[in-house]
Amino acid sequence: MKTTVFTKYHIANGAKMAEFAGYNMPIEFTGINDEHLAVRHGAGVFDVSHMGEIWVKGPKALALLQHITTNDVAKLYDGKVQYSCMPNGRGGIVDDILVYRIDAETYMLCVNAANIAKDWAHICEAGKAFGMEAGHGRELYNASDEICQLAVQGPAAMRIVQALCDEPVEEMTYYTFRKMRVAGCDAILSITGYTGAGGCEIYVANEDGDRLWEALWKAGEPLGLKNIGLGARDTLRLEKGFCLYGNDIDDTTSPLEAGLGWITKFAEGKEFVDRELLARQKAEGVQRKLAGLKLIGRGVPRHGYRIAAPGGEEIGHVTSGTMSPCLKAGIALGYVAAPYAAVGTRVAVVIRDRLIEAEVVALPFV
């Protein structure tokens, strides 16, 4: 298994460790519920160094990205981040990604840890048609093994991070970033997040990881900063209705089925992969949709559980589910037949052969 720059700190702090995407990662420290509520009400730090970073540079960078992603990259400006996805040519999704515009000819993509190799191969193959080469000093470069990343999340997060910065960052707007010094290190500080609780991500070179970690804890400990594992990261993102690749979206789900029509832009001149197929889906409608479910009956929905109509007819399946630490109720994302996807529709989740009543609700859950 791979380790991150911060693995030694997780072990020293008593983390429950497990393999995730080929990395030895912390799953929990003091317990998922405790960590979840710490982020909702205070501040927590996540090691997300397993995520991938791919650079796309040169005069053809924008053209390539317009071709391989669904969102309109032309709308970006320097310092702006965009959520997007890469269609696979068969109506599914290679990965959902973040696109950072450094300047008109320089972009960084943040990709999911489990998909780094797949994404890199996909981007390199597509780049050939644009005359773009891969490798160090070339137009396409996979820097994933050179960069570490911490996500500092929660309502107190930016107050803590401000202590590490010489320029004001607390008023930075959602989905923007700056290249700047953080804790004396060259960094990218990004306001995106996967928890819906506020905060930022800090990218630095691996060799600066220890310095960043020590400075962050010096500033954060007096304000109650806590270590947070991947378990609470999952429950936090689910409460906000954020998709997880491999569960809620994958190579078999279209962005329109997944409720990602808002990042699927049919802009004039943007001839992206699967444009015609997705335009047809948009015009004709999809047969299934990703819906948010809140259990009315008692139970915890889990990935793979069947979703049924009130009469017992199977209409879909759960893709992500948990007991919400904030709502104290079972919540889930799942694909259901389109006629059952409207908010307010009563359905059931099949748990141990019992139909547990649930309602389709608007996202986010909290």
**Shared-domain flag, residues 233 and 313:** no
Domain boundary among 210, 239, 268: 239
**Shared-domain flag, residues 42 and 151:** yes
Q: Which domain covers residue 351, as residue numbers? A: 287-361
pLDDT at position 131 is 98
Digits of tens for pLDDT over the chain (366 positions)?
999 999 999 999 999 999 999 999 999 999 999 999 999 999 999 999 999 999 999 999 999 999 999 999 999 999 999 999 999 999 999 999 999 999 999 999 999 999 999 999 999 999 999 999 999 999 999 999 999 999 999 999 999 999 999 999 999 999 999 999 999 999 999 999 999 999 999 999 999 999 999 999 999 999 999 999 999 999 999 999 999 999 999 999 999 999 999 999 999 999 999 999 999 999 999 999 999 999 999 999 999 999 999 999 999 999 999 999 999 999 999 999 999 999 999 999 999 999 999 999 999 999
pLDDT at position 228 is 98
Residue 341 covered by a domain: yes
**Shared-domain flag, residues 37 and 181:** yes
Give me the CATH number covering residue 200: 3.30.1360.120
pLDDT at position 337 is 98
pLDDT at position 134 is 97
**Shared-domain flag, residues 194 and 307:** no
Residue 246 covered by a domain: no
**Shared-domain flag, residues 43 and 150:** yes
**Shared-domain flag, residues 150 and 221:** yes
Full-model pTM: 0.97
Domain boundary among 239, 271, 297: 239
**Shared-domain flag, residues 44 and 161:** yes
Residue 65 covered by a domain: no
pLDDT at position 360 is 98
Residue 112 covered by a domain: no
Q: What is the number of domains present in the chain?
A: 2
Residue 164 covered by a domain: yes
**Shared-domain flag, residues 214 and 326:** no
Residue 86 covered by a domain: no
Give me the CATH number covering residue 333: 2.40.30.110
The first and second tokens of residue 237, run together, are 């993102």
Residue 88 covered by a domain: no
**Shared-domain flag, residues 235 and 291:** no
**Shared-domain flag, residues 159 and 227:** yes
pLDDT at position 253 is 98
**Shared-domain flag, residues 29 and 161:** yes
Residue 260 covered by a domain: no
Domain boundary among 239, 273, 299: 239
**Shared-domain flag, residues 154 and 228:** yes
